[in-house]
Structure 1
Amino acid sequence: MSDKISRMAAHLPLNAVRAFLAAARRQSFTLAAADLHVTHGAVSRQVKSLEEYLGVALFERSVRQVRLTAAGQRFLADAGPALDQVAAAARQVMAQAAGRAVRINVRPTFAVRWLIPRLSDFVAQYPGIEPRILTSIAPPDASDVTYDIAIRRGLEHWPDSLAMHPFLEDEALLVGAPRLMRGVTEPAALAALTLLEAKTRKTDWDDWKKHAGIRRLRPKAQILFDHSHFVLQAAIDGLGFTIAPISLLANDLAEGRLACPLPDLRLPMGRYYYGIHPSANSETHLFSRWLDSQARQPARPV
């Protein structure tokens, strides 16, 4: 009997158990999918595989909701605390491990606008790993041993020795302070406003106009900044409007600091990639998996 139990434990689908517990606690496959940063279908398939493994139905399914069966309630009561205990033990070991870090090479604006607002999630999942952010506008260099992973837009200027991974898709939007954008119902209204631009993204305005079919449009004035971070802050403060990537805008749009008056006029942009240094440690691969999970999260509506 003990050999049979050991074989069962060795083949227990732990990812499916995790999906079941999330769905059982939420009483919803949809909410569980959001918690786990996967799709509704992925949760459904994982739960189904667990039911097939156990040989019992764990949920009663209807059109708009799921409900635990008696077997599902028993499994939740027994498996939930056990998996929580395993997770707590893992966090304790990770927290006690000394000197674990991942060094992340990113551009300054991406660090401020995308990475840092999300880092608390990584730290919560991996409390023993210290994320060290190294900002640079230079292309990643394979001979540089000061970083483990680099994130940049596009595939140009990457050294051949770095393992490249597609990361984040992106588009650019017209944005400004809500009070300034309130009267913008068509592109022609921008002629009465000031354009805010970054030296590093000077083609975005012309590219957006071309994409929107309004090449002749001219704003009343223009202010140029060194970095996109300054542009976005100026837009938040009401100095004018700008064209900027959604990847850098998501938090400001969600919190109401910026508004997009013409959400259907979206400029396609090159996607982000991350490159892993040949000498990267195991912590780097955990961080890269976390990056992938963040990229899979549904985009916030504009």
Structure 2
Amino acid sequence: MKNPLPPLNAVRAFAVAARHQSFSLAAEELHVSHSAVSRHVKLLEEHLGVLLFERRVRQSLLTPAGQRFYQQVSAGLGQIADAAAELRQQAARPTIKINVRPSFALLWLTPRLADFAAQHPHIDAQVVTQTQSPDPAREDFDIVIRRGRDDWAPALEAHALFEDELVLVAAPGLIERLPLANLAGLSAHTLLTVRARREDWHHWAMHFEQSQSTTQVIRQFDYMHRVLEAAVAGEGLALCPTTLLGTHLSSGRLICPLPDLRMPLPRYYYGVAPQASAYSNVFIEWLHKQRP
């Protein structure tokens, strides 16, 4: 019994040649020779038993039968292309975009993402850094993580994540040179801080009922990871949230010279955008397991 389906490569060559009304242009698009296109079309005509093209010197025109066949073939190939695109999209790794501040991304989230990737290799977790709290009406993200919830967009519901504390850290070598037994000894040191949190040292002193010298040298940096780099280099004392210390303490790069002095900070919260990916819950479940 004769196969009712025509040779599919021949059908494709015919469709491209019909669209261009030219075997030469079809050959260029398909990256084959002119004669190859001609052979495919001839094979198709023999299979169908009809003439599809009227060959001329510089042009190949569709016959009435060729026009009817092209309309149906074109629609069929379009459906195949759409079906393939849909399957590719379904097979593609779903993406989750997590909006966080730059220092939180660098010092807390990014070092942990390898664990998420190992547990969920089919999900692509992308980190988006932004200083200000995002608005889902204007920015593209699935999950937001921020300390506090004062400036959250109305469309976001804040969910408690974990607590945090502010501690004093320094390089071991610095404390060897300039010992620090209590808060009164701060005056002998340069203090390091993030520009956006330049009041931390004042709040720290007030919290422990300690006056701060008005002539104290305070160096300001744009990001917390820069503050920590300076602290590791022995350039001064730093106040850092415990969540952002990473391995600085366990590795010995930094120490807490006054370990009992810990000032509570506003807790971290997360929110899920209204248009968030369905896979966001997978990330949230993993996120809760990362609590200190």
Could you say which TM-score interval applies, normalised by the shorter chain? 0.5 to 0.7
| 1:211 to 1:259, Cα distance in 2 relative to 1, 3 A | same
Q: CA deviation at 1:196?
A: 0.8
Q: How does 1:75-154 map to 2 (within 5 A)?
A: 97-154=91-148
Q: Determine helix, strand or coil for the equivalent of 1:167.
A: strand
Could you say which residue in structure 2 is the equivalent of 1:206?
Answer: 202
Following TM superposition, by how much is the alpha carbon of 1:250 offset from its aligned partner in structure 2, in angstroms? 3.4
Is contact 2:202–2:212 with CA below 8 Å preserved after alignment?
no
Matched residue, 2:282 = 286
Q: What's the CA shift for 1:180? A: 1.1
Indicate the residue corresponding to 1:221 in structure 2. Answer: 217
Counterpart mapping for 1:1-302 below 5 A: 97-182=91-176, 183-217=179-213, 220-295=216-291, 297=292
1:263 deviates by 1.0
CA contact under 8 A between 1:163 and 1:278: conserved in structure 2? Answer: no
Aligned residue pairs: how many?
A: 201
User: Structure 2 CA distance, aligned partners of 1:250 and 1:138?
Assistant: 23
Instruction: For residues 13-37 of structure 1, give each alpha carbon's deviation from its aligned partner in whole angstroms, at most 9, with x where no partner exists.
Output: xxxxxxxxxxxxxxxxxxxxxxxxx
Following the alignment from structure 1 to structure 2, what is the Cα–Cα distance between the partners of residues 238 and 219? Answer: 20
Q: Secondary structure at the match of 2:245?
A: helix
Identify the residue that residue 40 of structure 2 maps to in structure 1: none
- CA distance, structure 1, for counterparts of residue 279 and residue 285 of structure 2: 10
The residue identity in structure 2 corresponding to 1:236 is V
Query: 1:79-116: per-residue Cα shift (whole Å, max 9, x none)?
Result: xxxxxxxxxxxxxxxxx942311101000000011101
Q: 1:219 to 1:186 in 2, by over 3 A?
A: farther
Ranges in structure 1 where 5+ consecutive residues have no aligned partner:
1-95, 298-302
Comparing 232-241 with 220-229, greater Cα deviation is found at 220-229
* TM-score of the superposed pair, with normalisation by structure 2: 0.66
SS in 2 for 1:171: strand
Deviation of 1:282 after TM superposition, in Å, equals: 1.9
CA RMSD of aligned residues (A): 1.7
Contact 1:103–1:147 under 8 Å retained in 2: yes
Structure 2 CA distance, aligned partners of 1:138 and 1:209? 27
Structure with the greater alpha carbon radius of gyration:
2
- Quote the Cα distance in structure 2 between the aligned partners of 1:139 and 1:216: 31
Deviations 1:46-97 (A, max 9, x none): xxxxxxxxxxxxxxxxxxxxxxxxxxxxxxxxxxxxxxxxxxxxxxxxxx94
1: CA distance, partners of 2:91 / 2:180: 54
TM-score with structure 1 setting the length: 0.63
Q: Which runs of 5+ in 2 are unaligned?
A: 1-89
